[in-house]
Amino acid sequence: MPFTLPLGSSPPDFSLPATDGTTCSLASFAEAKVLVVFFTCNHCPYVLGSDETTRETAEKFAARGVRFVAINSNSKNTYVEDDFAHMAARMAENRFPWKYLYDETQEVALAYGALRTPHFFVFDGGRRLVYSGRGVDNPRDVSRMTVNDLDRVLDEVTSGRPVSVPLTNPIGCNVKWEGKDRHWMPADACDLV
């Protein structure tokens, strides 16, 4: 099996603490017509550069039943600013329109095969993976963005159209794995396209 969840797969379940004091699982988002699970963090310049664009997309598609859930799987021992306290502070400051969950054991990142921050996984109403990859083509500097893949995918899915480009390579910092060099990637991790 490939490292990253293949298209057509069901989302692996999880039970993770959220910055709002709740614990969330897939059942917490059962009412979502489309579910976007994305791996993110607090420090990555690609995340920081594109979070407002992601917010715009989340707000734009909320009325169509799309829900977003963000998961931070980065080791706090690599970047202390990726710990839970910093997650809670970041959400309090920015009030993003998604739940922000902490995957301290990194088991969820492994189950999904998260490669980078950010890395987006879009699941349709039947909870099948219809898209995996980047949000935009220039997440570090969205003023230079020419393609918003996430926006396109959500428009296609919520309009009942097939996803025209279901796989792209996520663009960002690699997930920071516990006990590993900050640039380390699992041996079986590879580009999606």
Any alpha helices (H) in 63-143, and if so which ranges? 84-94, 107-112
Alpha helices for the chain (secondary structure H): 45-62, 84-94, 107-112, 149-158
User: Quick check: 38 and 71 in contact, CB under 8 A?
Assistant: yes
**Beta-bridge partner residues of 24:** 16
Quick: pLDDT tens for 95-133: 999 999 999 999 999 999 999 999 999 999 999 999 999
Predicted local distance difference test score (pLDDT) of residue 1: 65
pTM for the model: 0.97
Domains and CATH numbers, the chain: 15-174 (3.40.30.10)
Is-contact 167 132, C-beta < 8 A?
A: yes
N-terminal to C-terminal alpha carbon distance within the chain: 16
For 44-84, the pLDDT digits (tens) are 999 999 999 999 999 999 999 999 999 999 999 999 999 99
Distance CA 23, CA 29 (A): 12
